[in-house]
Structure formats: C-alpha cells, structure tokens
Amino acid sequence: MDYANRGRPPQKKGKKSAPKGRKPAGKKGGKPVPWGMLIIACVVVAGFVWFLATISGKSEQPTVTTEQALPVPAEQPQAQPESTLPDKPDERWQYIEELENHEVQVDVPEREIGPPKLMQCGSFRQLDDANTLKARIAMAGLESQVRESNGSNGRWYRVILGPYETKRDAERDRHKLQRVQVFNCQIWNWNL
C-alpha cells in the first residue's frame, strides 16, 4: 500500500476541533513578555557601550609638554667620549681559595645495632604449604628456611628469612617479596 499517496480520511461534519497538541488559532495564549527583564538587559548593554566609549577616547588625548617652563643653560660643556674602558678592578674575594682548601668535618653518630631481625612470611600446619611458600620466595631470589615449632596449640611450620643486622635490610627484602605477590611478611626481633 502506498502511504504517501493515500488520501486523508474524511472529517466528520459538524463540530470542528483543533488537532491535538495545537492551540486554537483565534486565541493568543502566549507567555507575557517580561518587560522588567527586557529593560534591565537594555540598561546593562547601554552601560557596557558607554564604558567602552569612555576608555577608547582616553588613549587619543595628546600629552601635555612643558618645554617652555624649563630653563635652558647658556653653555653646555661637551663631553668627550672615552674610547677606552677603565681597568678591571682586582678581586677582593678570598672565599674561592678558602673553599678549595677547606675540609668540612661532620660528626655522624654510629647507629646502634640491636638484636638480629628475622622476617616471618608464613606459618602453616602442613609442611607442603610451607615448602610451597619457600619455593615462591626462592623465585624472588631470596633464601628462606622452614622451621618447625611445637606449641600449646600443636605443630606449626614457620617460613622465615634472615637473620638481618638492620631493619633496613629486612625491609628491602620485604619489598622484593611484595613485587612477586608475597605479602604479610613481618619483621621481628628474634634470637636464633
């Protein structure tokens, strides 16, 4: 069926109603013009134009010179241009030689080395789990140990690294382990 060429359906005779969504043509039901806003906008535009006109005229005003009020000396001595520069003055600074020959002495206190540090990365009930973690640590290039400990709550297998002389050395290894996804390593002051 051809929708473009089909005709419009015949309208019922009698009462003619406006199509839906349209207002009747006889009534002007538009919104009232906001005269107050229109007047304020005109005043603002006029003020802006006046401002631009006043600042543009100020740059064209001639400057006032008072050459006539200045007394002119009767005779001006002519200065002779010097063709040579004055001699370079001697340097009075001695700090250059002093700094080259000076030695700075700083008192650095020795760090107190405490008890050896051990790092525990895991504690397991099964030896196979502890050996698995030991292998992951070995893949990071570090050497660990599995130690068995018997306590009141049974047998545990601890995976430890160390001993380290300083905590900084232990922290360095802990950061290496974190890069290979081995977390929860804790540094303790333990004696062997």
CATH of the domain at 169: 3.30.70.1070
Confidence of residue 122 (pLDDT cuts 50, 70, 90): very high
Residue 163 and residue 159: Cα distance in Å, rounded? 13
Domain annotation covers residue 149: yes
Domain annotation covers residue 137: yes
The phi, psi pair for 125, rounded to 5°, reads -80, -30
Domain annotation covers residue 60: no
The tally of domains found in the chain comes to 1
Domain annotation covers residue 143: yes
Domain annotation covers residue 127: yes
Q: Domain containing 167: what range? A: 117-189
Kindly report, residue by residue over 36-82, the tens digit of the pLDDT: 999 999 999 999 999 988 887 665 555 555 555 555 566 665 666 66
Is the entire prediction scored with pTM above 0.75? no
Kindly report, residue by residue over 129-176, the tens digit of the pLDDT: 999 999 999 999 999 999 999 989 999 999 999 999 889 999 999 999
